[in-house]
Structure 1
C-alpha cells in the first residue's frame, strides 16, 4: 500500500474553484456497474461510490469507462483511499442523497491509491431519524433509519416499463417511536436470503428516500445507499432493547397506508366535538366510535391546586394465552396483583386532555396510545423529567395547538353508583394526513355548492 501524505484537502471545501486537490476518504457505499449509450451513440459504463473523510465531509463520486477498468475492483466498501485528478460538477439531486453541493467524476486521468486504514474516519456518517418524525417531514425527504424488521415479503423479479430487469423486496421497519413504515429494497439488497430478515433483526439504512404513496408514506433504498444488519451502534441497541422489553406487543402507527402490519387507526364516524358533547349527554346511547380532526389544547396537570399524576407504572410481563403485556398498575415495589409477582415495568400515560376544533372543546380521558400520539412523546420521556415538575409541564405545553390531530373517540354506556351515564374516551390520536384531509374538505365544499 502507498504511504499516506501528511495533508489532504477537506471534502466539505471542494468546489469548482478548487485546483490540484487530493482527498483521503473511506468508501462508505458502492453501486453496481451500469452501462449506457452516450450522445454520439458510443457505449459507456459507470459506477458510483460515496466517500467520507476524517472531518465528516461526504461526497458522491462517479467513475466512468477507463476509471471503471482501473479501479472497479480496487474500490471496496470500508477501505480508505486517496483520490485526485477528478472533476467537480453541481450535484444532481435526483441521484445524490448527500448534502454536498458538488459531486466528483473520474475518468482516464483519475488517480486512486489504497492507503492504510485511518481510524479517524468513521465507518459511516449517520443522522438517525425516528419514524414518528418522518410523518411530519416535507416530502420527498432523505432520512437515515434504524428499526426492527417486523415483517417482510419475498423478493420479486420483474421487468420495468423501459425493459430493465429489476428485483425488489418490501420490508416493514418499526422503531421505539411506536411507528412503522414500509421500505423497498432493490437489487442485491433485495436478493439477500430470507433468513437475513427473519427473527426481527435491527437494520440501519442510510439515505432512504421517502415519498407519498397512496394515502401514506413509503421509503425506497437507492442503489448507492448503505444497509447494515444488526450493527453495533447505540441507536441499534436502543431499538433492540425497546423491542425485547415490550415493543413487539405494542400497537404501531403505520405511516404506509397499505403496510402489511397492524397499527392503523380505528375507523370511526366523522364528527366534530359538538357532536361528542351531545353524545356524552345521552345516557342511553349504544356504543359508537367517532373520528374528529382537532388540536390538543390543554393537559390537566393540576386539579384544585394539587399536582395530578400523568402516568402510572404498569406490568410488562406477558399474559398467558395471548402473549400481550399485562399493562396493569403495579404498586410502589413493582408487584403486580394480577400476575402475583414483580417483573418488568414501564410507565404508561393516563391523561385528561382538552381537545379543541372550530366549533367546540371537550375534556377526554386519554389513554396511553392516544396520549403518545397527542403529545408526540413517550411516557418514559416524561418520567425522566419527574424530578423537575416545571420542565415536565413545559414539555407538555410544547404540544399545545401544534399539528392537527385525527383522534378516535369511543362513547359507550356505563354505570356509576347505580346511575347510567356515557363513558367517552380518546382511544387513538395521530397527525392528520394533510393531503387526504384536504381532499375531504374539497369534497365537502363541492357537495355544499351542488346542494345550494
Structure 2
C-alpha cells in the first residue's frame, strides 16, 4: 500500500512453523524493498522491531507484528521446502456476523454474481478499477467482496460458471448497515484451488447449493426488521428495506439486453400487506426465473434487500442482486399478513404505491405520498418549519406564480442535463453541464437534454408557499415540456411569449402536489426547505367522494353527540 505523504509497504510472513505474522515497511525501507520482495519467495529478515498488533486491523491472528526501517536487512535465500507458500484459515460467511469489525478473514465460496468492472478517480487523483463479486458457502449466507486493480480486470469468463473462489486477507467492514468485504492488493484470490475447503464447497454446490441460490442470506445487506408498506411514506429515499407481504400479482419472466450486451431476465411481482397498500417489486436473474408455480396461489414472501427509489412520483422497488427471497416464511409478520389476506384482504380495495402500476382490486393508483391525507398550504408551511427529518406532504392547491425575474434579472427556467449513463447503473447522470456541453461529474463532453428548474408559488384558501420545483413536477404545473420551453425561448421574442403562456396557467386548475420538506441550516440559520417532487391535475371525482365521506362522518358524529343520555 502506498500513501500520498509516505510510502508504506505491508506484507505477510510465513515460516515453517505454519504461523503468519504481519510486517510493515515505512519510508525509505518501503521504497527499497517494494520491488525486490516477491510473493512466494524465501527471504531472511534481520533488524526488525516487534510491536503489538492492532486488533481488528491485523490481517492475521498473530498478536504481534514486525516493523522494518532503513537499518533492517532483507536478503533472498534458496527455497525452503518445509515452508508452505500460503496458509488459509477459513471462516464461514455466517461466522462473520459474530465477529467484531473491522476484521480480516479467509473465505472459500462459490461466485454467484459478478458485476462488470468500472474505473473511477479517487480523492487523491488516482485511477482505480473495481469489481464487486458475491460469494456463498454451505452456511447459506453470502457476502459482497470488492476486487481491485488487476483482479478486478480479469475477464468476465473467469467469474462465469459459478467457480469456487478462495480468498485470503479479506477486510470486512460495516457498510450501510451490512458487512462488506474488500480484498486488498496484499490478499490472495485463487479461482482454481485444489484445497480441501474448495473441494468441499464445490461438492456442496453440486449437491444442493445451486438449487438454493435464491434463499441465501446476504450479510452485506442492512440487517433491518421488516417494514409495513405504510411506513415507507416517511423514509428518506433511496433506501434498502425488508418487506413481508402477499403476492397479489405476478408477471411472466422477460429477458432484455443491456447496453453492454449482457442479457438479463426479470419478473415483476406486486405485494400487499395489511395496511391496504401494494407495491411493485422487480426480481432479477435466478429469483425471477423460478417456476411460475412458486408464485401461484398468492404466497407470502419475505424480501430482504429491496432497493426503494422514487420514480415518477411513486415507489420503484427492486430486489438487489444479493437480496433474499423466501416463500411462506415462518415469522410473526408473515402470519399476520396471511391472516389479513385470508380473512378479507383478498377482496379489499388496495392502493398502489408504485407510479403507473395497474389498479389492485379496483383501486386507482396513487403516488408515494398519497398514503397521507391532503393538508392546506398554511399547514404545509407550519409542518415544514417543524420538520426535523425529511417528511412528505400532499396539498391540493393551484399554481399562483413562477419566478421568471429576480431583481429585474431574467431567471433561467431550463438547463441542460447530462444524459451519459452513470457507471454501474442504467440511469443517466442528469447533472447540469456547462454551456459547451461539458459534464464535470462525468469529466467529458456528453449528450444533453433540457430540464426544468423552477421556483413556483402555490396557493389555496389558507395561504401560499414558494416551492423549488424540478423537471417532472415543473412540466405538470406548466403544461409544457422542457423541450417546448427551450425551443420557444430560442425564437425571436420567445421569452416574452413563454412568460405569457405560463401566466395563463396561473390559478387555472387545482393540482395534487407532493412536497418533500425538511429543516436545513444556511449560514448557521435554520429554515425550512420545500421541494415539489410530483404534481398532477386533481382527480375531482375522487376528491369529491373523499369530501363527501368527511361530511358524512361529521354528520354521524353530530347525531351521536345529540342523542339523549
Q: TM-score, normalised by structure 1?
A: 0.48
Higher relative contact order (CA 8 A, sep 6+): 1
Structure with the higher fraction of residues in helix conformation? 2
